[in-house]
Amino acid sequence: MRCLSFLSLALLSPLLVNAQLSGHVGPQTSSSSKASTKTCNVQNYGAVADKKTDIGPAIEKAWKDCAAGGVVYIPAGDYAMSTWVTLSGGKASAIRLDGIIYRSGTSGGNMFMIQHSSDFEFFSSTSKGAIQGLGYEFHKSGNLKGPRLLRFYDVTDFSVHDIALVDAPAFHLSLDTCKNAELYNMAIRGGDSGGLDGIDVWSENVWVHDVEVTNKDECVTVKSPAKNILVENIYCNWSGGCAMGSLGANTDIRNVVYRNIYTWNSNQMYMIKSNGGSGTVSNVVLENFIGHGNAYSLDIDGQWGSMSRVDGDGVRLQNIVVRNWKGTEANGAQRGPIKVLCAAKAPCTDLTIEDFAMWTESGSKQSYSCVNGFGTGFCLQKGDGTSTYSSVITATTAPAGYNAGHMANDLKAAFGTAASIPIPTIPTSFFPGATPYTALAGH
């Protein structure tokens, strides 16, 4: 079980306190206690570490015996999986994945679907457990209709940690209508294509931290509905970048903090994306961001052309704070480091951009553009949103303090879509100078 200390909360600003977690996250019962109650080794249910025998039926049988209190144990070794599993009704249970599961089936859906469960843990005790989706077998022909690797629906008080999710045919990890979750000490490696999201969250009271993502779509993204979400120490290493959305009708996202986000050679450092729609996003803090080589830096786009327009005047953004951003963007004249584009009938209000120092890697100028974004900082204008405006500011001098460090493991090239992606070692650092909250398991 995890929670923020009283001291750490006391040091934060009032807005940050309101946007923190609303209570405990993670399982209520330790994995060791669960294991002492009962351990169901999948090898006793027919699993064979020969990379040929389907492990799916063995997992289902082991779950049936341990779902009510115990640990489904997948020992070290290489396993094939051609039957997807839907594991439901668990209470005070866990899955300990110390082996590597290789997708061998071709169905869509979810390889692992955990639902209607509580007090749950999906983890590796050695930090060497992995799911290898071999998505390239789909992607090399342009097929993105394969399975997701891991999805949670209606699960409370749970954690996922110390595992690698690799080359998903579709999404890697999704949290749908969940509560009180902690995701940490993870490496996600996907192909260089859209539609291969890293982590998607539409849930309540979730802490995502110390995660590396490589893909060409969402790094760690919050979707609607969601509230009380804390995302920190994230390494978007040649990714699409972190985001919020796509946002559509009846959007309801509140109390979100992204902190210590390092983004290398990605589409954006952070994007809030919508096109039409309705509802609100409120009380958001985006702080301590470092970026290098990204196409976009801060990109708030209420007319995002990559999604079909949704009926409605637009999603309203309220009380958004952006602060302490450093680094460089790929081409500041082509895509400036600040873009705020809000709908005329759904303006963005109470925006703050401060301590923001980014500079271009190409050329000698960059632009800041704002449309209907009201608040303070750069091209934002004061006001209550009852008027409309458009503003562009061009800078020809680098701002003071834009220099920022790099991560040692910045990739030199993307993983493609035509060959298998190697299973990575989970890193021990996810943001320059930041120590992970929890040491890797087995270390």
Active site residues: 217, 292
Concatenated DSSP letters for 174-205?
EEEEEEEEEEEEEEEE--SSTT--SEEEEEEE
As to burial, measured by CB atoms within 10 angstroms (0-12 exposed, 13-18 middle, 19+ buried), residue 162 is buried
Which tokens is 270 given? Answer: 């952070």
Specify whether the CB–CB gap between 121 and 157 falls below 8 A.
no
Rounded to 5°, the CA angle 97-263-351 comes to 115
Sequence-ordered alpha helix ranges (H) in 67-156: 136-139
* Whole-Å CA distances, 186 to 86, 110, 221: 22, 19, 15
- How many C-beta neighbours within 10 Å does residue 250 have? 13
Which tokens is 248 given? Answer: 């559509």
- How many C-beta neighbours within 10 Å does residue 381 have? 15
- Bridge-based pairing state of the strands 316-329 and 110-123: unpaired
**What sign does the dihedral 374-377-381-384 (CA atoms) show?**
positive
Rounded to 5°, the CA angle 296-305-276 comes to 110
- How many C-beta neighbours within 10 Å does residue 59 have? 27
As to burial, measured by CB atoms within 10 angstroms (0-12 exposed, 13-18 middle, 19+ buried), residue 8 is exposed
Amino acid identity at 442: G
What is the rounded CA–CA span in Å between residue 264 and residue 25? 29
* Whole-Å CA distances, 385 to 68, 247, 285, 346, 389: 53, 20, 20, 8, 10
- How many C-beta neighbours within 10 Å does residue 140 have? 13
**C-alpha distance across the termini of the chain, in Å:** 20
DSSP state of 43: G
Which tokens is 109 given? Answer: 């859906």
Residue 196: closest CA among 246, 144, 150: 144
What is the rounded CA–CA span in Å between residue 207 and residue 2? 9
